[in-house]
Each structure stands twice: as C-alpha cells, then as structure tokens.
Amino acid sequence: MQTIIEPFRIKSVEPIRMTTRPEREAILKAAHYNLFALSAEDVLIDLLTDSGTGAMSSEQWAAVMRGDESYAGSASWGRFETAVKAIFGFQYVIPTHQGRAAERILFSVMCPKDPIRDKEGYVVPNNTHFDTTRANVEYQGARAVDLVIPEGKVPEAIHPFKGNMDTRALEELIAEVGPERIPLIMLTITNNSMGGQPVSMANIREVAALAHEHGLPLYFDACRFAENAFFIKLREEGYEDRSVREIVAEMFSHADGCTMSAKKDGLANIGGFLCTNDAALAQQEKDLLILTEGFPTYGGLAGRDLEAIAVGLEEVLHEDYLTYRLASTRYLGEHIAREGVPIVQPPGGHAIYIDARAMLPHIPSLQFPGQALACEIYLEGGIRSVEIGSVMFGKMEPDSGEAHPSGYAQREMPADMELVRLAIPRRAYTQSHVDYVVEAIINVFERRQDIRGLKLTWQAPYLRHFTAKFERV
C-alpha cells in the first residue's frame, strides 16, 4: 500500500477552539509577537515543539494507574530503571524531571567553575548544541562549539546524514585547545538545530574513536535516539536487516553516557534521565540531584511518570510507529516544497524546517525573518511554530558600548541559518491537520513579499527566545 496510515485508533479527543484572523492579530500583538507567550487555547495546530506534547498510548495510561508514589525505592522506579538499562546499556541511571535538568547536572559536574581554569575555560564540542544544552554549557563559563559537517549548514543540500560531526574539525579543536580543556564531547541525535538530521553509525564510531584516543568521554543528547536509529536502518549500508533495537544498542555501545528528554522519544509528557558508566561521576551527579531534583529513585518525577516513560521507551522502538512517524513528517515537507517553499532537505524525523532566509530575502537577519515568518503562519492559520535562527542562536558580543533593550551592552551577530521549525507532536494530529498546515504555509508563501521584519524591544540574558518582546519594523 502507498498510503501510510496512523498505526493507532483515537479513543479520546481534545476540542480545538477556532479563531479568526482579526482575533489572532489582537492575540499576537498582545503577546509582543512572541509565540511562546500565546495561550494554548488560542492555537489551532500547535507545532511549537514535539517535547511533551504527544499523545500517550492506552498501555501508558494503564501503567500510569499502576504508579507507585513511594518516596524511595518504589516499584515504579524499578521498572523504569530496568527499561532504561535494557535499551541504553548504561550502568547508572539518574532520573530527572526533564532533559535540561540532566544537562544542568552533567555540566555542573563536568565543567565546574574554577577561577584558575576559567582564565582559558572549558570547551564542549558538539555536532550542534540545541538551546538549553548551549545555555547550560555557557552558564558554567564554558564555550559551546558546533562542529557539524559543512553540508549541515546548507539547507538545500542533500546528504543522508547531515547531522554528522566534522571529525577533522574536532581533531583540530582538540589540538588547538588541548584535551585537558575538553571535559566531554557530545553528539546530538538527531541534530535538532540543523533540521532534525540524523547522525550515521560510521560517524558515531569515528567520533568515539577520536574521543577515546584522547581519553575524553563521549555523551549523546539522546532525546530522539529511536528516530536516529530508524534513519540508520533506512539509509546506511549494512543496517537494512537490523532491528531498531539492535541499532540502538550498537549506537550507545560507543558512548560513555547520555542525557535524555523522555518528552521526545520517551513518548511521555514529562521526564528525563542522565546515564553514565562512571561510578564516581554518578555519585557526584546523584548528590546534586538530591539537592535540586529529588531522591535518586524518583528525581523530581511521580511514580506514574516513571511508569509512562518505561512503557514509552519500548513503544518508540516499534517499527510500524517509526514508519508512520517519518512518513507524516516527510508528507508535510514534500507538499510545501513542491509549491516552492524552501525547506531543509531532506526532511528530518520530528520536524520540517522552513528556510526563512531564502523565503524572505528582503528581511535582514537582524530583523529576524524566522520570527516574522512564524508570526505570519500563526496569523494565517492559527498554527504555532518556533524560530530557530538569530533570535534563538544569534551571537551577542559584550562590551561593544551599544545600549540594548535588555540593559546589556552588546552587539548582535546573526545566526548561520534563519529557520522556522514545524515540530510535529507524536500521535497527536491526523493527516487532515497536516493538510491544513500545508494550505496555510502555501498561502503565506504566495504573499511572502508583504511580510515585514521585527525588532527586539526586550530580552533576557539567557535563552531570550522564550520571553523576548518584539514589535513590527
């Protein structure tokens, strides 16, 4: 059959409140043109993120009812720990309330602030850091360095594994700063900032070999690990007959640890974890966990959340689900690209990324074409997306003497790419919803010359895109 159907039946529905364009114009202006500030009830199709926004299965809801809310050593913790160890293979599992908490604990321990060392600073290489990962690295005074392959920075380029790390650049970085300044190497799978693009097994092996040659631990940002594994099965020679579970096991056999947001490929609404094989490191991380998150057998999660993740980690490995997941994302990308909308090619696993710089060349980067496009898509169809460009990742150079709305003296430097991400929640929308999104985006594309840029009127010093305020240029 050519038609890929959703491999599930819908047993519960949530009503959508329909809005008109005049209503959305007033709503957007009141939100200062920041889609994070919108109320969810004012959104028809919410593609802001795929994190924690998916629909849980009947098996997950059944497991929720089984949740053991004991403070220490609950049965729910036992089932959660068993599931994580069976899939990921790490010896120590540390639960957290979500992925960024795992990142904060990891970098607090691995990149401790040191007055002597801080003169030069730690350096953390990654194929591409996402927003919270970068912020947690930089909060520790370390430098986050992105080393994606050159094809990864060219939206229209076709490459089966555009998420790969440039191993030659990694080797040069290690030689430049010295391994003693690199506490760990990270790989984000799939590479969210660069279009949800996968990392090949060959690249994982190469990065691991280089890391271990220099005595450096390799960690995965693993929140979309199953989607990455399925791309390997579909695209990498020698893996077409391997199961996704087997591919996952091989992927993680090359790593020394991982951070995980279970709100993505854990198919849960909340939760995450941090893994390692290092006993001493695990103890330090548990000590910090107790201080800030909770006891090491619940880590800020209720027993019902641990249960939902344990089941979700098994369900995400089902290949009928992964076939549907990648097909539904590809369907959106191919339909808008066919009408001329420039997107990051080939379509990724969890989202479609529109190239706002190519679509709106009349808007300068420092008037935030991605943010302007995301606002226009909301006005057209009530669809919420997210900018991944100079709002989220623009560089800000301090001490330039220029006044800024945040009160900091800094100079704006645009990001490498100006993208708008349409992140598809798991098991939440049907094909008719996607068809509606396609129609809205094509309508916006046809009048793209009329879209105006935005200017910042206020921003926070870290992760400014969550709370920034804008007005029309």
Task: Give tens-digit pLDDT for 93-120.
Answer: 999 999 999 999 999 999 987 655 555 6
Rounded CA separation 276/265 (Å): 19
The per-residue pLDDT for 408 is 43
The per-residue pLDDT for 113 is 75
The per-residue pLDDT for 406 is 44
Average pLDDT over residues 335-351: 95
Q: Which fold has domain 21-50+318-472?
A: Aspartate Aminotransferase, domain 1 (3.90.1150)
Domain ranges of the chain: 21-50+318-472, 58-315
Q: Which residue has the tokens 């909301």?
A: 378
Strands 351-355 and 419-423: antiparallel
Q: What letter does residue 42 receive in the DSSP assignment?
A: G
Mean pLDDT of the chain: 93
The per-residue pLDDT for 421 is 95
Query: Please, which residues bridge with residue 191 across strands?
Result: 197
- Reported residue count of the chain is 473
Q: What's the whole-model pTM score? A: 0.91
Query: Please, which residues bridge with residue 447 across strands?
Result: none
Residue 243 pLDDT > 90: yes
Q: How confident is the model at residue 312 (pLDDT cuts 50, 70, 90)?
A: very high
Rounded CA separation 459/123 (Å): 26
The per-residue pLDDT for 212 is 95
Q: CA–CA distance from 272 to each of 258, 312, 466 (Å)?
A: 11, 12, 21
The per-residue pLDDT for 267 is 95
Task: Give tens-digit pLDDT for 38-84.
Answer: 999 999 999 999 999 999 999 999 999 999 999 999 999 999 999 99
Q: Checking phi first, is residue 2 left (phi over 0); if not, alpha (psi -120 to 50) or beta?
A: alpha
CATH 3.40.640.10 fits 58-315, yes or no: yes
Q: What percent of the chain has pLDDT over 70?
A: 95
Helix axes 303-315, 58-65, angle to 10 degrees: 150
Task: Give tens-digit pLDDT for 382-438.
Answer: 999 999 999 988 866 654 445 444 444 457 888 888 999 999 999 999 999 999 999
Phi, then psi, of 238 in degrees rounded to 5: 95, -5
Residue 6 pLDDT > 70: yes
Q: How confident is the model at residue 460 (pLDDT cuts 50, 70, 90)?
A: confident
Range in 4-13, 162-171, 298-307 the model is least confident about: 4-13
Task: Give tens-digit pLDDT for 297-308.
Answer: 999 999 999 999
Rounded CA separation 219/259 (Å): 7
Instruction: Name the residue with higher pLDDT: 411 or 249.
Output: 249
Phi, then psi, of 293 in degrees rounded to 5: -115, -45
